[in-house]
Structure 1
Amino acid sequence: MASNDIYTTPLTGRYSSKEMQELFSLRTRYTNWRKLWLWLAESQKELGLEISDEAIEQMKAHLEVQDDEFPIISAEEKRRRHDVMACVHAYGQVAPAAAGIVHWGATSCYVTDGGDLMAMRDALNLLLPKLARVIHQLKQFAIAHRDLPCLAFTHGQPAQPTTIGKRACLWIQDLLLDLRNLERARDDLRFRGVKGTTGSQASFLAIFTGNHEKVEQLDELVTKKAGFPSAFTITSQTYTRKVDVDVISALASFGCTCERIGGDIRHMAAMKEMEEPFEKDQIGSSAMAYKRNPMRSERLCSLGRVLKNRIGDAMDTYSAQWFERTLDDSANRRITIPESFLSADACLILLTNITASLVLYPAVIEKRLQEELPFMATENIMMALVEQGVSRQDAHEEIRVLSHQAAAEVKAKGKPNDLIERVQKTEFFRPVWPQLPYLLDPKSFTGRASQQVTAFTREGGEVDSALQQYKAGLDLVAVGELHV
Structure 2
Amino acid sequence: MPTALQAISPIDGRYRSKVDRLADFFSESALIRYRVLVEVEYFIALSESGIPQLQPLSEDKEDQLRALYREFNDSHAQAIKDIEKVTNHDVKAVEYFLKQKFDELGLEKHKEFIHFGLTSQDVNNTAIPLSIKDAIDAVYLPELDNLKESLNQLAIAWKEIPLLARTHGQPASPTRLGKEFYVFVVRLEEQLEMLDRVQHAAKFGGATGNYNAHHVAYPQINWQHFGEDFVENRLGLKHSFPTTQIEHYDHMASLFDTLKRINTILIDLDRDIWTYISMDYFKQKIKKGEIGSSAMPHKVNPIDFENSEGNLGIANALFEHLSAKLPISRLQRDLTDSTVLRNVGVPIAHTVLAFKATLKGLGKLLLNEEKIAEDLENNWAVVAEAIQTILRREAYPNPYEALKELTRTNEKITGDSIARFIDNLHVDESIKQEMRAISPRSFTGI
| Bucket of the pairwise TM-score, normalised by the shorter protein | 0.7 to 0.9
Q: Is the 8 A contact 1:307 1:343 kept in 2?
A: yes
CA displacement, residues 243-278 of structure 1 (integer Å, 9 cap, x when unaligned): 221111111111111111000000000001024555
Question: What are the residue-to-residue correspondences of 1:383-462 with 2, within 5 Å?
Answer: 403=407, 407-408=410-411, 417=412, 419-422=414-417, 429=424, 435=433, 438-448=436-446
Query: 1:427/1:218 Cα in 2 relative to 1: closer, same or farther (>3 Å)?
Result: closer
Match of 2:200 in 1: 189
Query: 1:359/1:437 Cα in 2 relative to 1: closer, same or farther (>3 Å)?
Result: farther
Q: Once the 2 structures are TM-superposed, how far is the Cα of residue 302 of structure 1 from its aligned partner?
A: 0.9
Q: Once the 2 structures are TM-superposed, how far is the Cα of residue 424 of structure 1 from its aligned partner?
A: 6.5
Match of 1:7 in 2: 7
How far apart, CA to CA, are the structure 2 residues paired with 1:310 and 1:430?
A: 60
Question: What are the residue-to-residue correspondences of 1:318-337 with 2, within 5 Å?
Answer: 318=326, 320-335=328-343, 337=344
Q: Once the 2 structures are TM-superposed, how far is the Cα of residue 376 of structure 1 from its aligned partner?
A: 2.0
Question: What are the residue-to-residue correspondences of 1:324-363 with 2, within 5 Å?
Answer: 324-335=332-343, 337-356=344-363, 358-363=365-370
Q: Once the 2 structures are TM-superposed, how far is the Cα of residue 218 of structure 1 from its aligned partner?
A: 5.2
Q: Secondary structure at the match of 2:166?
A: strand
Q: Secondary structure at the match of 1:160?
A: strand
CA-based RMSD:
3.3
Query: 1:395/1:154 Cα in 2 relative to 1: closer, same or farther (>3 Å)?
Result: closer
Question: What are the residue-to-residue correspondences of 1:249-260 with 2, within 5 Å?
Answer: 249-260=257-268
Q: Secondary structure at the match of 2:34?
A: helix
Q: Once the 2 structures are TM-superposed, how far is the Cα of residue 35 of structure 1 from its aligned partner?
A: 1.3
Count of aligned pairs:
430
Q: Secondary structure at the match of 1:105?
A: coil
Further displaced range: 348-357 or 172-181 = 348-357
Which amino acid is the alignment partner of residue 314 of structure 1?
A: L
| Structure of greater relative contact order (alpha carbons < 8 Å, 6+ residues apart) | 1
1:66 aligns with 2:73: yes
Match of 1:44 in 2: 46
CA displacement, residues 20-74 of structure 1 (integer Å, 9 cap, x when unaligned): 2322122221111111111111111112333475975653342243333344323
Question: What are the residue-to-residue correspondences of 1:262-411 with 2, within 5 Å?
Answer: 262-275=270-283, 278-318=286-326, 320-335=328-343, 337-356=344-363, 358-373=365-380, 375-378=381-384, 403=407, 407-408=410-411
1:89 aligns with 2:96: yes
1:201 aligns with 2:202: no
Which amino acid is the alignment partner of residue 220 of structure 1?
A: D
Q: TM-score under structure 2 normalisation?
A: 0.85
Unaligned ranges ≥5, structure 1? 409-416, 449-484
CA displacement, residues 367-410 of structure 1 (integer Å, 9 cap, x when unaligned): 1111112x123455678899999x8569966x6666466x25xx
Q: Is the 8 A contact 1:174 1:257 kept in 2?
A: yes
Q: Secondary structure at the match of 2:174?
A: strand
Further displaced range: 55-64 or 307-316 = 55-64
Query: 1:280/1:338 Cα in 2 relative to 1: closer, same or farther (>3 Å)?
Result: same
CA displacement, residues 89-124 of structure 1 (integer Å, 9 cap, x when unaligned): 223233323543321221101211111110121122
Query: 1:152/1:60 Cα in 2 relative to 1: closer, same or farther (>3 Å)?
Result: same
Which amino acid is the alignment partner of residue 226 of structure 1?
A: L
Q: Secondary structure at the match of 1:285?
A: coil
CA displacement, residues 166-186 of structure 1 (integer Å, 9 cap, x when unaligned): 10121112111221222122x
Match of 1:241 in 2: 249
Higher helix share: 1
Q: Is the 8 A contact 2:26 2:131 kept in 1?
A: yes
Q: Percent identity?
A: 21
1:121 aligns with 2:120: no
